[in-house]
A and B are shown apart, each in its own frame.
Chain A
Amino acid sequence: MSERTFGDTILAVKNISLSFGVMKVLDNISFDIKQGEIRSIIGPNGAGKSSMLNVINGFYHPQEGSITFKGETRKRMAPHAAASHGIARTFQNIALFKGMSTLDNIMTGRNLKMKTNIFWQALHIGPARREELENREAAERIIDFLDIQAIRKKPVGKLPYGLQKRVELGRALAAEPELLLLDEPMAGMNSEEKEDMSRFIIDVNDEFGTTIALIEHDMGVVMDLSDRVVVLDYGKQLADGLPDEVRSNQAVIDAYLGVPHE
């Protein structure tokens, strides 16, 4: 395979600090993500990784710092703005629409791609219907991509865990995001499921050129997939660099890799 090349910086967070009450969850964190890159965020439990993603997609509002996405700098993101500018995500604890089918979950992911107003929607005719069909096709492509045809019509709440994670990825992909935030997409999976998920992440990056920010605990996966890795430890940024650099960084070894973790 050819050498991987990346575009400009798509996202930069600068001097982000976030506290809940007296607890400092993120302390002066700065890093950037380049277009087309797979960027991992690692660190022990409670390091602030999920909080970092929540800051990026606007669920949490940092007290200090700035977020620059696609050249636009903000003090804080709003979830709606994040979604409409091309940031999609999955959650550490699966957050699917449990009562809805796989297809409907993925269609919901296309929410912002669908524009017809409530009037047409209510009548379910004309432009709304055409739009529905076009988006159905897009959703079907994702179903095909993730190989989940067999569960298309099943309510997702009843699916096994590994498949739910896959559907959640599908919902995020449905938005055709430029930046995809994946919060522990392989947690709790067996090695075969992990392999599948890794494959999908690589394929998403490959086929659609999607930039990916990935939180993952399995070091094998992280070293395999990531172009660059940033390491957090109790809100502090320990290291940032290529997988090999990070792996041989003494501070990282001491704080994280060296100590046993689950």
Chain B
Amino acid sequence: MPTWGFRMSEVTFFIEVALSGLMAGVMYSLVALGFVLIFKASGIFNFAQGVMALFAALTLVGFMEKFGMPAWLAIIGTIAVMIALAWLIEKLMLRHLVNQEPIILFMATIGLAYVLEGIGDIVWGSDVKVLDIGIPQGASDYMLDNFNIYIEKLEIFAAATAGILVVFLAIFFQKTRIGRALRAVADDHQAALSVGISLRTIWVIVWSVSGIVALVAGIMWGSKSGVQFSLSLIALKALPVLILGGFTSVPGAIIGGMIIGVGEKVAEVYLGPFVGGAIENWFAYMLALAFLLFRPQGLFGERIIERV
């Protein structure tokens, strides 16, 4: 890779590296976002978030391949499936675990991850699938011609989609009744109940929303690298993102994801040669560790206030 070095100026090279990290970053952000939503509303650390992305992508491909649906219909169908899934999760799992220890709930989501993986496997098969819903592919000629920077159209598209999704969620959370109800539940269950907020409805909504966010993540990643099991592994990268951005902060999840995505790519290219490469595999965790030491509440997380 460093052999490219002489072909372009140092600056454009750097930008290119950073941008290529951005795609992965957007991915991390989306998965982390799903985590944050569920964690905020129910205090559950959802281990299955990554698998949900895989499951959503598998379902989408399945709808398109097996039933020959057009992309838009398949997406609507998948959204319906994700909502149904949220409803089932509430009905079969959450409802029975009210007031349990967080660790029990966490274990339950591990179980959920295996169940979803299994179902995906059985219903749609375990082979690597190509996902093409018509997102433009290839390099952006515009960027190449004007700035001499190589960047995939898909990456631009992914970043834009993530941006829109975040703005949309921010408005939803801040300005609507249901958004307020979500925050209310996150703050105080009893008080939320007393004003007539139904916890179950809220849970179905947050799990649905994270399901949809997972679908978006699944589409992006699947379009780039095909739908395969490794998709569920990006969930592992979401943990450092959360530590960086704070477990309860939506903007934190987004920016944390970008920082890690870009950071690990830049580190790989510039520092990799000196330490024998593969920085990408551990960089995120190092960064998270540093944060744990210096700013445990994360970039945007609420300061942890000791209650007396």
Contacts and interface: CB of A to CB of B under 8 A. Distances in A.
A touches B (Cβ under 8 A): yes
Interface of A: 57, 59, 79-80, 83-84, 88-89, 91, 95-100, 104, 107-112, 114, 116, 118, 121-122, 124, 128, 131-132, 171-172, 174-175
B184 interface: yes
A59 B193 contact: yes
20 contacts: A59-B190, A80-B198, A83-B194, A88-B194, A95-B191, A95-B194, A96-B191, A97-B191, A98-B188, A99-B183, A100-B180, A118-B178, A121-B172, A121-B176, A124-B171, A124-B172, A124-B176, A128-B177, A132-B177, A174-B195
B176 A89 contact: no
Nearest to A181: B194
Given A84-B196, A96-B188, 16 more contacts: A79-B193, A79-B194, A80-B193, A83-B194, A83-B195, A89-B194, A91-B191, A97-B183, A97-B187, A98-B187, A99-B187, A99-B302, A108-B184, A108-B192, A112-B195, A118-B205
A107 B195 CA distance: 10
Most buried by B among A99, A107, A110: A99
B191 A107 contact: no
B175 A108 contact: no
Contacts of A104: 180, 183
Interface in B144-168: 168
A158 to B, nearest CB: 10
Contacts of B168: 122
Contacts of B180: 100, 104, 107-108, 111
A111 B171 contact: no
A131 to B, nearest CB: 8
Contacts of B179: 121
A59 B191 CA distance: 11
Given A88-B195, A128-B176, A95 B184 contact: no
Contacts of B205: 118
Contact of A111 (B172, B186, B187, B196): B196
A88 B205 CA distance: 24
Contacts, number: 93
A118 B86 CA distance: 15
Contacts of B184: 97, 100, 108, 111
B260 interface: no
Chain B interface mostly: helix
Most buried by A among B184, B188, B195: B195
Interface of B: 168, 171-172, 175-181, 183-184, 186-188, 190-198, 205, 302
A108 B183 CA distance: 10
A100 B194 contact: no
B176 A97 contact: no
Chain A interface mostly: helix
Nearest to A118: B178
Nearest to A85: B196
B178 A121 contact: yes
A111 B194 contact: no
Contacts of B196: 79-80, 83-84, 111-112, 175
B177 A100 contact: no
Contacts of B171: 124
A112 B198 CA distance: 10
A108 B195 contact: yes
Nearest to A128: B176
A121 B177 contact: yes
A104 B188 CA distance: 14
A80 B172 CA distance: 23
Nearest to B248: A99
A79 B186 CA distance: 18
Contact of B176 (A109, A112, A132): A132
Contacts of A88: 194-195
A97 B180 CA distance: 10
Contacts of A57: 194
Contacts of B193: 59, 79-80, 83
Nearest to A94: B191
What 9 A-B pairs are tightest by C-beta distance, nearest first? A83-B196, A95-B191, A97-B187, A79-B193, A112-B196, A121-B176, A114-B177, A97-B184, A108-B184
Contact of B175 (A99, A112, A116, A124): A124
Most buried by A among B168, B171, B198: B198
Contacts of A111: 177, 180-181, 184, 195-197
Nearest to B185: A97
Nearest to A120: B176
A262 B114 CA distance: 56
A174 B192 CA distance: 13
Nearest to B188: A95
B216 to A, nearest CB: 15
A44 B245 CA distance: 47
Contacts of B194: 57, 79, 83, 88-89, 91, 95, 172
A88 B172 CA distance: 26
A116 B190 CA distance: 24
Most buried by A among B171, B177, B188: B177
A57 B192 CA distance: 13
